[in-house]
Structure 1
Amino acid sequence: MALRASDPPEVGGYRIEDRLGSGGMGVVYLARSASGRRLAIKVVHGQYADDDEFRLRFSREVAAARQVSGAFTAPVVDADADAPRPWMATLYIPGENLGTRVRDHGPLPPDRLRELAAGLAEALRDIHRAGVVHRDLKPANVMLADDGPRVIDFGISRAAEFGGADALTQTGRVMGTPPFMSPEQFSTPHDVGPAADIFALGAVVAYAATGRGPFDSPSPYETATRVVEGAPELDGLSAGLRPFVELCLQKHPKSRPNPDELLALLRDGTRPNPRPGPDRAPDPAPGPPTGPRRPRRRRRLLLAACAGALLLAVAASAAVVRYTGADPVHSDLPPGWRPWHAAAEPAYPADRAGGPFSSCGAAARSLVCAGDDVKAARFSLATGRHAWTRPVDSTPDDFGSDEGSVLGVRAGHVYVYANDETESARGRATGTSHAHYSVQSVDAATGRVIWRTRTADGDSALAPDLQDGGATAVPEGVVTVFGDDARAYALLDADDGRIRWTRPMPDDTACVVVAAAHLPYLVCRPDDAGTTSVSALDTATGKPRWTAVAKGSLDLLGQDHGRLILAETAPETAHRALTTVDATTHRLLRVPLARPQPAGAAVHLARGTLYFTLGNGSVRAVSPRTGRRLWESNSSVEFPGPPLASATHVYVASPNGRLAALDRRTGRVDATRPGRNDAGPTGMADSGAPLLLVGDALYVPYGTRCVYSVDVRRL
């Protein structure tokens, strides 16, 4: 981040070189010591310098951080809690934080997950041995250093020795980040101890494995309620890590293991001995009945305490939790971002009207888009500078059209597909071509092909396309339709593209591969059977782990609260019901829609809500759990593309880039942006392209291979 005129040239004798990030409590700078060592310096905002309680808390942060070994944290180099603006200098840890890594590249691979879990358990063991409770372990406070994870930002930690007598805990303040807070941080904040960090550890590992927190919810109040009394969502966790996370997320502090027990579990599978507590209560001795229980009264009290604590937690989160070390993501925009619009250079063929990109992905500082015969085109996330374009088919003759698709993103690479078509003698006579499809992993910054694997070769070959269900990315790599006649499917390894396994398709069926909650599924429609089968695939072998069969011709839209959501998507069929499949019990349930949706409506699942869109701009939100319509809105966006849902809004865009932001709760149109006329001739796109949100930067494909970016806070 560029330095500003108001930034100091030096702090405490250390020369300032750059901004690393800023938050509600202060600014983090990159600085150099006299010997050239790089430091991260936190400088508190001026408005807090006169707060005596804050100064005391800050001095305690310094003392707590000094007590902890630098092997697992950012060692404190220098500090001055009595300066006009208090500051603390720690050793700069190069690398990205876990939150950034997962948002940019998706969940960590299995080997990295075990390293993360073990590294954080070791870090907490070291922190707790020093008598410190962190109280705000979250992805943004975990730096992925070369030698293992480092825990940073002890801004709201407290020395465990102060206990309940600590005057600062008597003010009623509840501090933390709600999705990663423990139940006791909401209900009994005075009793928070080391076990709260263990709970947060489980939530962080679940986030790293699945890309979402186990208690995520659009509403912070619902998040708090789920943390205190709800079951975590752990779909997508491997069998090896699930016990680790489940033990960490026990509701009662005494039921959670300590770091040594967690390390033993990871090392040799040794589970800790059960401890008494609400989560692991011993069998009661026989005796007379103790009278009727009053669960409703308890629930009301619990919700009241939870809501009251959450009000304090949200305020503290806004005021304190944003104060993190070396975390530029909290600027909410990519570093150096400004509004921009750009077009890819013409890709083969260049002499016809085209259409919008079909998909885009963000990797590191790159926006990579594909579609309209473009295999991949790279733009800068911050400025829109266009670096390169690669066509789907690089041969000099064009025998057909391949859309191109970003199949997924991983560690600075994007998965795409290519088709090196050739013309046979038969093709010259019939006007057809011979396809040579391959899936490729491409460096997002340079466009260099890291690996390529041939998936099909022949006149009947099918493209490994995301939109048509020909391929999809999972943490292990790319699951794709495979073979010259598309009668098999395969997993291509994420690291080198090697074929880890192939499996035959079921006979007499048309099948696609789809990912839901980062797991692969095979969705098949047997010929003339009037049914759809959904099979959960084992990524180790490719064999179906289980199969459910539903009536109708259905598409798998995704997963919500542990249930797969399927809907009829044939354009001539009205939407009257949904079908859900429990991912654990595999039980099917038909959910009638309270109000049928018309034929021709496109349906998408985004953040737990179904959105039906029509060409006239109508958007209708429906609960997939009840079938009840939540709201209906005229977005004013013609032929809207797939809705993109954030925590607060739903965004839709047209093929020419007209954009609307709808309140996610009510459907009210809060902002619109007109379409653009700088895209040149466009084809007959039947809907807008999928949008992409990176922090507060929204990326909108439009026109002919064009993209623009806006700050959603300033629409």
Structure 2
Amino acid sequence: MALRDADPAEIGGYLIEDRLGSGGMGVVYLARSASGRRLAVKVVHGQYADDDEFRTRFRREVAAARQVSGAFTAPVVDADADAPRPWMATLYIPGEDLGTHVRRHGPLPPARLRELAAGLAEALRDIHRAGVVHRDLKPANVMLADDGPRVIDFGISRAAEAAGMDALTQTGRVMGTPPFMSPEQFTSPHEVGPATDIFSLGAVLVYAASRRGPFDSPSPWETATRVVEGTPELTGVPDELLPFVRLCLDKHPKSRPGPDELLHLLREGRLPDPRPEPEAPDPEPVRPRRRRRWPTAVAAGAVLAAVAATTVIARAGGGEDPHDLPAGWHAWHRQASDPTAGDPQSMGPSEPFSRCAIADKALLCAGDGIMAARFTLAEGRNTWTRPMDPTPAETSSAGGGTIIGARPGAVYVFGADSTDIKKGDEPQSRTRYTVQALDPDTGKPVWSTVVADNIDGPGPEYAGAVVTPAGVISTYGAASDSYALLDAAHGTVRWHHKLPTGADSDCALTDAGGRPYLLCRTSDDNGDHPRTTVARLDPATGRPSWKITVKGTLSLLGHARGHLVLGTDPLMEKLTGLTLIDTSSHVLTTVRLATPRNASGAYVVRDTLYLTLTSGSVRAIDPLTGRERWQSNSTVEQPGPPAASATRLYLASPTGRLAALDLRTGRVTGTLPGRDDGDSSSGTTTAAPVLSGDVLYVPYGMRAVYSVDVRDL
């Protein structure tokens, strides 16, 4: 690459000979030392030179890179973080980077892929032994040298031992290259450790084998979603390396092997496939372990459910550690404090929480007029509780509140501020509705955006809201007649559009398979010929990526194996069949049930449709065929939405009665009785339990939660 007139003749006493490339951080030059040694000198862009935080990070980059031996990397020769434009010189590694080589010559053959896997595992072993996490392992940062691959560019690495103490890592920034990032880099970037490089290693090997990443998508948002929740595309990876790659791409960081374990597997030539084996009918379910001891094969890792609409999917209980419990955990039960206690306007029947979610190592719950309440995971301490409406008006009806979703550093909730006004002889209530991002640690608003302001009109809870990596998509406008994207960092409205209008139009925002959808149900002027339109929204613009209209008044029940699953509300009429939409081809199909079913709840969890009755009966149905897999009496009356691990389904009642059912057979494998402080008189559906590691957090009763080690069920 030819030098330009503006390029310097020398940097730090090193003569510049050529340009090697440029990127977001700076320009890389080929230079030569006085002794003739060839160096790669990275000079940061001038726009960063006045940024004190950047200089601090660059200084740490240099310090981190110096700790690595250089046997499998490009060793640091010299650097100056205080220069007008900071620079760092490393030994020049001749050869192509992996990305360039694959683009020019195609995928690597199996023998070279195995050499690459071993070389990168050795490099990561060297890097991690120095206490460093690279955090941006990608094809462009792998040089194919004559003596094996070298890992370069520690541009966003950090010392592992300082991860929990570094204030610069607590800003919620997501740093890396999306197609090769790990799930935790999107969901909890301040907790990233060495296991993130192992995930990236798996993604790099897939690229080297197939010329594409395992989660590639034209949209960065879809790429991020696929990394966190999707199944990797491994076509092109040789059979002998598939188990190796699957182990690296485990969603749960604690279930990924370390570099030494990977090298052992390659040397021994025995690569166990981590996919779960079929279970025998009678023995207890095999539970996955936190840390693999080879050659044990264990089940798949956790799937994050930060934006799940009604169900919670989590890693199977059981740990090889031998426990996967928060430090200092013990079984607990707590009730959230009432932030409006003593206010006569808040008096009335209490209800259970409507939804709970894990956020920043705490359990956040909402409902019954509570915007959010925080419980510590280990002891259940209720450290703060915020009301949805801090000053309820006499005539207000602001709604119950719910958790919209969460990301590192923020939990998204609804708020309301009601005031009494006089309009004629009748008192009325004017309510200003907001979507708020709360700090999970303190409960204080990070931002608050008004999304509706009306008199006795609907609030955003009615039509829902959806969390995406870009922010929150919520109904918007004085009469909630539009929808808008609220920026994740500041709550700024990035775009907004009118909701579709028409006779008896009824629209709601929801998500399925980690993607946002707008569901609108309409009919003609006489209320006849109902139809439902499903539109997938592009978070970047708010416009539909595609939309399909089907006959009937349908609800979106969930997502299963690449299909949206729609059906009639089983509470209103018997469910006779399902409508499926292939999310890739958009082909519409219908599936008939062998027997029409009524149900009090219908939930798609882990690719299975579960129909529940107030009596406790549960039916498991394959939504793609309509075939009933099993029917069971859970012993749980008035069950709420279920949670599921890789092996068991968990159902809880409003009183806190809990049952665990084998996913394959429906057999009840464990129960807990209801609690004395629970109350089922209202018949209100309770929030789904939340499974995190080996602990199940069960909402019940009046704004109460208890926790249990699922291995004790």
Of the three residues 330, 334, 339, the one matched with 2:326 is 334
Equivalent residue number for residue 364 of structure 1: 360
Q: SS at 1:710's partner residue? A: strand
The answer to whether residue 384 in structure 2 is matched with residue 384 in structure 1 is: no
Equivalent residue number for residue 293 of structure 2: 319
Deviation at 1:68, TM superposition (A): 2.9
The answer to whether residue 695 in structure 2 is matched with residue 688 in structure 1 is: no
Deviation at 1:481, TM superposition (A): 1.0
Q: Deviations over 1:356-405 (max 9, x none)?
A: 10001111121110000000111101110011111110115342251100
Mapped partners of 1:384, 1:526: distance in 2: 45
TM-score by length of 1: 0.61
Mapped partners of 1:180, 1:194: distance in 2: 6
Q: SS at 1:338's partner residue? A: coil
Equivalent residue number for residue 659 of structure 1: 658
- The within-5 A match list for 1:293-692 is 318-320=292-294, 331-348=323-340, 351-395=347-391, 397-398=393-394, 399-426=396-423, 429-459=425-455, 461-465=457-461, 468-508=462-502, 509-527=505-523, 528=527, 529-569=529-569, 571-598=571-598, 600-679=599-678, 684-692=682-690
Deviation at 1:210, TM superposition (A): 3.2
Q: SS at 2:402's partner residue? A: coil
Deviation at 1:426, TM superposition (A): 1.9
Mapped partners of 1:254, 1:306: distance in 2: 10
Equivalent residue number for residue 106 of structure 2: none
Mapped partners of 2:186, 2:702: distance in 1: 41
Deviation at 1:252, TM superposition (A): 3.7
Q: Measured at CA, do residues 255 and 557 of structure 1 come closer, stay the same or move farther in structure 2, by a change above 3 Å?
A: same
Deviation at 1:94, TM superposition (A): 3.8
- The within-5 A match list for 1:251-290 is 251-252=237-238
Q: SS at 1:210's partner residue? A: helix
Greater percentage in helix: 1
Q: Deviations over 1:208-236 (max 9, x none)?
A: 63365644xxxxxxxxxxxxxxxx5xxxx
Equivalent residue number for residue 115 of structure 1: 177
Q: Which amino acid aligns with 1:359?
A: R
Deviation at 1:613, TM superposition (A): 0.4
2:620 touches 2:629 (CA, 8 Å); kept in 1?
Answer: yes
Q: Where in structure 1 are there 5+ consecutive unaligned residues? A: 1-38, 40-62, 78-89, 121-137, 155-176, 183-192, 216-231, 233-245, 257-304
Deviation at 1:152, TM superposition (A): 7.3
TM-score by length of 2: 0.62
Q: SS at 1:209's partner residue? A: helix
Mapped partners of 1:204, 1:149: distance in 2: 21
Q: SS at 2:708's partner residue? A: strand
2:411 touches 2:439 (CA, 8 Å); kept in 1?
Answer: yes
Deviation at 1:617, TM superposition (A): 0.5
Q: Measured at CA, do residues 347 and 329 of structure 1 come closer, stay the same or move farther in structure 2, by a change above 3 Å?
A: farther
Q: Where in structure 2 are there 5+ consecutive unaligned residues? A: 1-66, 68-117, 133-157, 217-221, 243-271, 279-287, 303-318
2:174 touches 2:186 (CA, 8 Å); kept in 1?
Answer: no
Equivalent residue number for residue 259 of structure 1: none
Equivalent residue number for residue 95 of structure 1: 163
Q: Measured at CA, do residues 139 and 200 of structure 1 come closer, stay the same or move farther in structure 2, by a change above 3 Å?
A: farther
Q: Percent identity?
A: 37
- The within-5 A match list for 1:20-169 is 68=123, 73-75=128-130, 92-95=160-163, 112=174, 115=177, 117=179, 150=194
Q: SS at 2:609's partner residue? A: strand
Q: Measured at CA, do residues 622 and 253 of structure 1 come closer, stay the same or move farther in structure 2, by a change above 3 Å?
A: closer
Mapped partners of 1:450, 1:656: distance in 2: 34
How many pairs are equivalent? 495
Q: Measured at CA, do residues 653 and 440 of structure 1 come closer, stay the same or move farther in structure 2, by a change above 3 Å?
A: same
Q: Measured at CA, do residues 476 and 316 of structure 1 come closer, stay the same or move farther in structure 2, by a change above 3 Å?
A: closer
Q: Measured at CA, do residues 489 and 315 of structure 1 come closer, stay the same or move farther in structure 2, by a change above 3 Å?
A: closer
Deviation at 1:315, TM superposition (A): 11
1:355 touches 1:683 (CA, 8 Å); kept in 2?
Answer: no
Mapped partners of 1:693, 1:454: distance in 2: 33
2:401 touches 2:413 (CA, 8 Å); kept in 1?
Answer: yes
Q: Measured at CA, do residues 516 and 459 of structure 1 come closer, stay the same or move farther in structure 2, by a change above 3 Å?
A: same
Q: Which amino acid aligns with 2:123?
A: V
Q: Measured at CA, do residues 659 and 151 of structure 1 come closer, stay the same or move farther in structure 2, by a change above 3 Å?
A: closer
Mapped partners of 2:194, 2:551: distance in 1: 51
Q: Measured at CA, do residues 92 and 64 of structure 1 come closer, stay the same or move farther in structure 2, by a change above 3 Å?
A: farther
Deviation at 1:589, TM superposition (A): 0.6
